[in-house]
Amino acid sequence: MFSIVPIVTSLGLASTATTTLAQNVGGGTWNYGVGLNGTFGYSDYLHTASRHGSAVGPNKSNRDKAVADAGNWSQARYHQFPSTGLNYWWSYE
């Protein structure tokens, strides 16, 4: 079973650069932020020992969620412009 840990943040981006926040959490590596031109939010999580997941969206009932096996990245994308008010999650089994 997944235990989703919400990280609430609001990120806005007006340039073409990608905003990335990277953290080592839960024994894995989590990258999240706002993509190119501020048109989407993303949450990517890599855990080398456990099945895991990542998610991004305004709330738990309206989000994109990705699940991956150990050693593979889970990559969630939520398209919204502007990409402010999004929540970011990671999880592992």
Contact assessment for residue 44 and residue 74, using Cβ atoms and an 8 Å cutoff:
yes
**Start-end of H helices in the chain:** none
Write the CATH number of the domain with boundaries 5-11+18-92. Answer: 2.60.40.2850
| pLDDT score, position 14 | 31
Find how far residue 68's CA is from the centre of its chain.
13
- Spell out a b/e string for 47-76, using b for 16 or more CB atoms within 10 Å of the CB, else e: beeeebbbbbbeeeeebbbbbbeeeeebbb
- What percent of the chain lies above the pLDDT cut of 90? 69
pLDDT per position as a tens digit, 56-92? 999 999 999 999 999 999 999 999 999 999 999 999 9
pLDDT per position as a tens digit, 33-58? 999 889 999 999 999 999 999 999 99
Contact assessment for residue 42 and residue 63, using Cβ atoms and an 8 Å cutoff:
no
Amino acid at 54: S
Q: Domain spans of the chain?
A: 5-11+18-92
